[in-house]
């Protein structure tokens, strides 16, 4: 395998994903503004909405919180809309709703481990009930015309990987792609992502279905190792994209033969752009949007040296974080950025 073309563009149904580098769905973060930002920075082949409850969509279709998640537009093409739920009929219904609202791909969440979701048998809990998990996939595939993908963890209980058996059932049920986060549900985010699971999934279903590896992709070096270890078709990046949304261009250069990214990104100006996009596209009251933005901007290493790796936070970073958590309005945010600019120039 030559490193320049370690990954090649692929199609989900007839939707081209080029480069095969995906932004992970992350509740509370990957709203329309962040997805648009990642798109602007380039080299991300597919983005995904935050997770949407099929149960709420079915039983309380006008729920404001759920409807706020219907924030996608064709500007983000191609994108997926993610649903979660453990009732095949509700999942089928929800899939039809998001399809008619323009979703070009429906993704099923079987990776969420948080008790609110998993205790109801949804998300990663389905990996502990493979017959039901397969039934859910089948119901969604039969409900919609658009391609269906699934995002899983290695399994539910550590040491008991069920992702491989699940993927075999999902491929048979007609899912087009599976993303494998190599942690078990019970691990949460502890430990490391075990990419041997994605490798085994690829070996088992790679002739029928696309396989994307996910978990702990931090830089081109770790990404290349994971591609070599798993032989996967694509990579999905989560938390590192919150810290450095421009990471996709670096990965595309190393793995897909794209030209080297020539721009030196400054976290501060990218964060500022995220605020602009939020003001433009997120239709919620200012108080709520700014509260959400505080959490969304914290992962940026504002005030860190341009070429930081994983060093401890610099004193200036801590100072800026303490100011950021106090902002209440867009005006406060603008003042924060002006202050940060001045401090960075010193």
Active site residues: 112
Q: How far is the CB of 319 from ligand FMN (least distance, A)?
A: 24
On whether the CB atoms of residues 52 and 64 are closer than 8 A, the answer is no
Q: How far is the CB of 158 from ligand FMN (least distance, A)?
A: 16
Nearer to ligand FMN, 191 or 305 (CB): 191
What is the pattern of x (binds ligand FMN, CB under 6 A) and - over residues 234-273?
---xxxx---------------------------------
Q: Mapped to the 3 state alphabet, what secondary structure does the chain carry? A: CCHHHCCCCEEECCEEECCCEEECCCCCCCCHHHHHHHHHHCCCCEEEEEEEEHHHHHHCCCCHHHHHCCCCCHHHCCEEEEEECCCHHHHHHHHHHHHHCCCCCEEEEECCCCHHHHCCCCHHHHHHCHHHHHHHHHHHHHHCCCCEEEEEEEECCCCCECHHHHHHHHHHHCCCEEEEEEEEHHHCCCCCCCCHHHHHHHHHHCCCCEEEEECCCCCHHHHHHHHHHHCCCEEEECHHHHHCCCHHHHHHHHHHCCCCCCCCCCHHHHHHHHHHHHHHHCCCCHHHHHHHHHHHHCCCCCCCCCCCCCCCCCHHHHHHHHHHCCCCCHHHHHHHHHHHHHHHHC
Instruction: Select the span of 6-14, 60-68, 70-78, 212-220 touching ligand FMN (CB under 6 A).
Output: 212-220
What is the pattern of x (binds ligand FMN, CB under 6 A) and - over residues 113-152?
--------------------------------------x-
Residues from 49 through 108 that contact ligand FMN (CB under 6 A): 50-51, 82
Q: How far is the CB of 18 from ligand FMN (least distance, A)?
A: 20
Q: Which residues is 153 bridged to in the sheet?
A: 181
Q: Tell me the residue number closest to ligand FMN, measured at CB.
A: 238
Nearer to ligand FMN, 226 or 340 (CB): 226
Closest CA to 81 of 155, 25, 119, 16: 25
Side-chain-side CA neighbours of residue 136 (13 Å): 31
Answer yes or no whether residue 112 interacts with ligand FMN by CB under 6 A: yes
Size of site (CB under 6 A) for ligand FMN: 22
Nearer to ligand FMN, 220 or 314 (CB): 220
Tell which one of 10, 22, 29, 230 touches ligand FMN (CB under 6 A).
29
Instruction: Select the span of 196-204, 211-219, 316-324, 326-334 touching ligand FMN (CB under 6 A).
Output: 211-219
Nearer to ligand FMN, 87 or 216 (CB): 216
Answer yes or no whether residue 195 interacts with ligand FMN by CB under 6 A: no
Nearer to ligand FMN, 24 or 289 (CB): 24
Answer yes or no whether residue 298 interacts with ligand FMN by CB under 6 A: no
Nearer to ligand FMN, 117 or 340 (CB): 117
Q: How far is the CB of 321 from ligand FMN (least distance, A)?
A: 17
Query: Under the rule (CB under 6 A), what is the footprint of ligand FMN?
Result: 24-29, 50-51, 82, 109, 111-112, 151, 181, 214-217, 237-240
């Amino acid at each position: 395998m030559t490193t320049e073309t370690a990954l090649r563009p692929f199609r989900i149904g007839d939707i081209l994903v080029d480069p095969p580098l995906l932004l992970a769905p992350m509740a509370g973060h990957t709203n329309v503004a962040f997805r648009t930002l990642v798109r602007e920075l380039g080299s991300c082949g597919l983005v995904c909405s935050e997770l949407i409850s099929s149960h709420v969509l079915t039983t309380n279709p006008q729920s404001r919180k759920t409807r706020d998640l219907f924030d996608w537009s064709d500007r983000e093409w191609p994108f997926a809309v993610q649903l979660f739920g453990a009732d095949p009929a509700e999942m089928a219904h929800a899939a039809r709703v998001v399809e008619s609202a323009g979703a070009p791909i429906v993704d099923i969440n079987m990776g969420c481990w948080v008790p609110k979701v998993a205790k109801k048998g949804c998300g990663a809990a389905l990996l502990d009930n493979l017959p039901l998990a397969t039934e859910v996939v089948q119901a969604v595939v039969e409900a919609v015309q658009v391609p269906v993908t699934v995002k899983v963890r290695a399994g539910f209980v550590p040491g008991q990987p069920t992702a491989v058996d699940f993927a075999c059932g999902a491929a048979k049920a007609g899912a087009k792609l599976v993303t494998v986060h190599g942690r078990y549900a019970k691990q949460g985010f502890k430990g490391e992502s075990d990419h041997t699971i994605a490798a085994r999934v690829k070996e088992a279903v790679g002739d029928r279905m696309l396989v994307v590896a996910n978990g702990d992709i931090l830089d081109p070096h770790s990404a290349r190792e994971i591609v070599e270890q798993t032989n996967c078709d694509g990579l999905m990046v989560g938390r590192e994209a919150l810290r450095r949304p421009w990471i996709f261009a670096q990965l595309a250069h190393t793995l897909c033969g794209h030209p080297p990214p020539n721009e030196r990104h400054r976290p501060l100006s990218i964060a500022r752009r995220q605020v602009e996009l939020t003001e433009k596209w997120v239709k919620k009251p200012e108080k709520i949007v700014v509260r959400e933005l505080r959490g969304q901007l914290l992962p940026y290493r504002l005030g860190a040296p341009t070429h930081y790796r994983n060093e401890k936070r610099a004193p200036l970073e801590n100072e800026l974080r303490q100011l950021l958590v106090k902002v209440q309005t867009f005006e406060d945010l603008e003042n924060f950025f002006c202050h940060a600019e001045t401090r960075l120039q010193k």
